[in-house]
A and B are shown apart, each in its own frame.
Chain A
């Protein structure tokens, strides 16, 4: 199966148009035509032409940038679709599929009927295809790309053997134009001149060398569903159904050494409306007994209406969760903290459960990071070369003057008397990070023990005189 216009067919399927249409790919500084439709071909354009030249040939040309990733995705879905013809489907380059239809052609009658069915279906899907069925993979490729002739493979040009362009030119210089010429000439001089690749390709096309089809492995699907003969509406029933779905889902996850990070439970009601319960887990897990209670809160909020008759459970995000060896140092300790974080996270959002991580900065507000606990690991390595206040608040100005700490000051409607002042500790702003709070320049930090008892963290800004309270010590 060769899709000669995969990229342009993909776009034209969504936006049908009869006008000349090209897909242009940027190579270096020029845009070259990468794929084009028959109308553009009739207008005299060809692959590899510069887009600017093409526009001068054909002023009403429509062009789109190339998106190889989306083309690959289309080919991937075509591959899945092609499994309806036979179970052994592999990729052939970036624009073709190869099917091993041995043993499945009789289901359509014969090979011709199978090809006709394929062609009809792809035509309905508006994808141009060239099909060929042959005894070997090499022959099928040659026939698909270079057309079916009466003489079969031997009449086709040497380029049909999937050779490098230099080899093809070399063979043509020797006067060997068709595959028939090649088979008639002695093998040893050819191998000496062009290397073993040429003869390998020839033997593969003729069937003397095997060339197996490698089928793509089906990506694992982590979803299960349950259809009920009678609609259900009780919360306990929904939980029981979820429990029944969780067991096979977790078995699938365990078979792939994966753990679910996000689960989506879709409940379809009898009136076709569907409701979703999303569960974001704080750690990858696959134990049904641990996941089930976490669904409780979401299921309680579901409006069952006239009843639910179909339930689908999908693990929308999975992470590798390999089995771990049990040793004397790492005992399997059931860690229920992740369950707790998940339960709290369903209420306040998983991002709002945080933990401290160390950071390298002298600026008090930036000397630590706050990261969501579900997406980070606990780390040690905090260090405090000098005592830091336990509570930091936005700087609150106080009335004072001079570079020395005031003997008496008012803060939050309290009159405080300085009993001991420790400092100053000068901290300069990090000029490489713009921060509006540090616009006032240098800060001289003082720890002030007041006679009233409170231990405050004051700073003085010498470049922009003023005194502020920024924190309180324990």
Chain B
């Protein structure tokens, strides 16, 4: 198991990034956990999905997490802009429900640069803004080796300052670290699984 982090991770601070895919909640929790410090999670109030503090514990301290419940996306964006500009948080996570246009993306980007805060938008597939620094797709993977595994495939699908790529990663709750693991079939000692 290699302990080398994927390139472009931890996410560049003072920038807004995007993540899509089924494992984007886990991705966001890992981003907030790696950054340390306090985080704000802005979510529209009508969404029935609930985050649970017990599940956050392997990644970050739930006491450091603030939630903002907003009426609509305009409010969410305003909250995120204000929080990014302030600089007293280390990560601001924003759940987006409708496509962001270039103006909104750019405003978030400027706010993040002012405060030096990492911004992360959880977007539905294909609803990102061109202003994002990087866009990731996170998908969970089945891990036959371990029961409580958090094996995921992270893929950069847009990168303003580098190349794209894909990695299989795994969060180690004990050491509080992210590990890059080779894909299942290519692990040393494992026979290649027939397709």
Contact = CB atoms under 8 A, between A and B. Distances in A.
Interface of A: 335-337, 339-341, 343-344, 347-348, 352-356, 358, 364-365, 367-368, 370, 373, 378-380, 382-384, 387-394, 419-420, 422, 449-455, 471-474
Interface residues of B, number: 51
Interface in B154-181: 171
Contacts of B22: 453-454, 472
Contacts of A474: 23, 25-26, 29, 55, 58-59, 140, 150, 171
23 contacts: A335-B88, A336-B87, A337-B89, A339-B86, A347-B75, A348-B79, A353-B67, A353-B69, A358-B53, A368-B54, A368-B62, A370-B67, A373-B66, A378-B63, A387-B148, A389-B52, A391-B25, A392-B49, A394-B48, A453-B22, A453-B153, A473-B26, A473-B55
Given A367-B52, A387-B55, A391-B49, A452 B67 contact: no
Given A364-B52, A378-B64, A352 B70 contact: yes
Contacts of B82: 340, 343-344, 347
B1 interface: no
Judged by DSSP, the binding face of B is: mixed
A348 B75 contact: yes
Contacts, number: 141
A383 B52 CA distance: 11
Contacts of A419: 142, 144
B5 interface: no
B114 interface: no
A449 B66 contact: no
B110 interface: no
Contacts of B65: 355-356
Contacts of A347: 75, 78-79, 82
Given A340-B83, A340-B89, A352-B45, A368 B67 contact: no
A340 to B, nearest CB: 5
Contacts of B88: 335-337, 340
B54 A367 contact: yes
A390 B29 contact: yes
B55 A348 contact: no
Interface of B: 22-23, 25-26, 29, 38, 45, 48-59, 61-71, 75, 78-79, 82-83, 86-89, 139-144, 147-150, 153, 171
A340 B55 contact: no
B63 A365 contact: no
Most buried by B among A335, A337, A365: A337
A390 B56 contact: yes
B52 to A, nearest CB: 5
Contacts of B69: 348, 352-354
Nearest to A297: B82
A378 B60 CA distance: 14
A15 B44 CA distance: 51
B68 A348 contact: yes
Nearest to A455: B140
Contact of B63 (A343, A380, A383): A380
Most buried by A among B68, B78, B139: B68
Contacts of B139: 453
A347 B56 CA distance: 28
Contacts of A383: 54
A382 B147 contact: no
A396 B106 CA distance: 37
A378 B61 CA distance: 11
Contact of B140 (A352, A420, A454): A454
Given A368-B53, A392-B49, 20 more contacts: A335-B88, A340-B86, A344-B79, A352-B69, A353-B67, A367-B52, A370-B67, A382-B54, A382-B63, A384-B57, A387-B148, A388-B52, A389-B52, A390-B29, A391-B50, A392-B52, A452-B142, A454-B22, A472-B25, A473-B26
B64 A393 contact: no
Contacts of A354: 66-69
Nearest to A340: B86
B55 A389 contact: yes
Most buried by A among B22, B53, B56, B143: B53
Contacts of A471: 52
Contacts of B67: 353-356, 370
Nearest to B47: A393
B50 A382 contact: no
B49 to A, nearest CB: 5
A453 B142 contact: yes
